[in-house]
Amino acid sequence: MKNKTFDVVGKRKIFYIVSLAVIILSFVFTAVFGMNVAIEFKGGTIITYSYDGTVDENAVAAAAQSATGQQCNATLGESLADGETTVALSFPSSEGLTADAQSELTETLQEQFASANLELYSSQDVDPSTGSGFFGKCIVAVIFSAVVMIIYIGFRFRRIGGWVAGCCAVVALVHDMCFVYACCLICRFDIDSNFMAVLLTILGYSINATIIIYDRIRENRRLYGTEKSLAELVNMSVTQSFGRSVHTTATTVIAMATICIVSLVAGVESILSFAFPLVIGLLAGVYSSNCIAPTLWTVWQGALDKKHAAKAAK
């Protein structure tokens, strides 16, 4: 009995529709609800207060927003230096808060939360130009990585149309990044350094899985030559590599999912905003490496082969 082969090429339109739907949904969600850009990219002011007992971070954020008239996010934490429990108030703004506004805010919060003994712990202003410069450098790093990948894959897999394979791999990477972006939008996570760290991490995981598929395609093409069509080669290669790809990713996903659960229980959003988008990115990477990149290569390389055959026939 022959082993069953996954017909990923035959179902490629379904994969493309699902992916396009998620990407379009993310753009619509951005247009309707906007995205939360963190202070390190947008600029603004971060004011940290120490307190005693317990405080409601949402109540503190609402009071601060009412007092300043600016959007405010509150995060509870603990200082590693002296063990003080703290509440950090973030005001994303291109202008930030003036010294007078900060003094008025402190007085207002101390009055409303007198039992918590709020005391100013630290204050930090983030220059918008510094944030935009950092964001620009992150984007340049991602673009540079994509270019290097195209060159590397183009050289390594030149026997199966290397530059085509490289471009398809980069398309799959952009696809994974869009899924991570959609996750951050829907979950209302900030677009911050965690977001950029997830993107760069996904670059490594996803491209590794894609290279494994390409390696199988190259080997199968060497073994079977023109005996099998491109679609048959891709279906066979994906089937042979699917188990390894899933098992490799599953170990990391299980670990990150555990971290997500612990972060939810402990209320540590800074870790959750990294771990959960990474889980989504890893799953999207398995999907794109097996269903997007190789099927795009089949369509593109098939069109080039037909074009070359037509020229040779003249």
Q: Is the pLDDT of residue 247 over 50?
A: yes
DSSP 225: G
Q: Is the pLDDT of residue 15 over 50?
A: yes
3-state secondary structure of 97: coil
Q: Name the percent of the chain lying above pLDDT 90.
A: 23
Cα distances (angstroms) measured from residue 96 to each of 39, 64, 92, 100, 189: 10, 14, 7, 12, 21
How many other CB atoms are there within 10 angstroms of residue 51's CB atom?
A: 20
Alpha helices in 95-225 (DSSP H): 99-112, 128-156, 162-187, 193-224
Short-list 150, 256, 261, CA closest to 194: 256
Band the pLDDT of 1: cuts 50, 70, 90. Answer: very low
d(CA 125, CA 206): 37
24-49 burial: b if 16+ Cβ within 10 Å, else e: eebeeeeeeeeebbbbbbbbbbbbbb
Q: Is the pLDDT of residue 128 over 90?
A: no
pLDDT score at 290: 92
**Torsion angle defined by CA atoms of residues 240, 243, 245 and 247, in that order, rounded to the nearest 10 degrees:** -160
Q: Is the pLDDT of residue 38 over 60?
A: yes
Short-list 85, 100, 83, 82, CA closest to 45: 100
Per-residue model confidence as pLDDT tens digits over 205-230? 888 888 889 899 889 888 887 788 88
Asked if 161 and 304 touch (Cβ cutoff 8 Å), the reply is yes
What domains are defined for the chain? 44-126 (3.30.70.3220), 130-309 (1.20.1640.10)
d(CA 134, CA 52): 36
pLDDT score at 179: 94
Band the pLDDT of 245: cuts 50, 70, 90. Answer: confident
d(CA 290, CA 238): 6
Q: Name the percent of the chain lying above pLDDT 70.
A: 96
The whole model's pTM is what?
Answer: 0.81
d(CA 64, CA 287): 43
Asked if 180 and 277 touch (Cβ cutoff 8 Å), the reply is yes
Q: Is the pLDDT of residue 94 over 90?
A: no
- Give the chain's mean pLDDT: 85
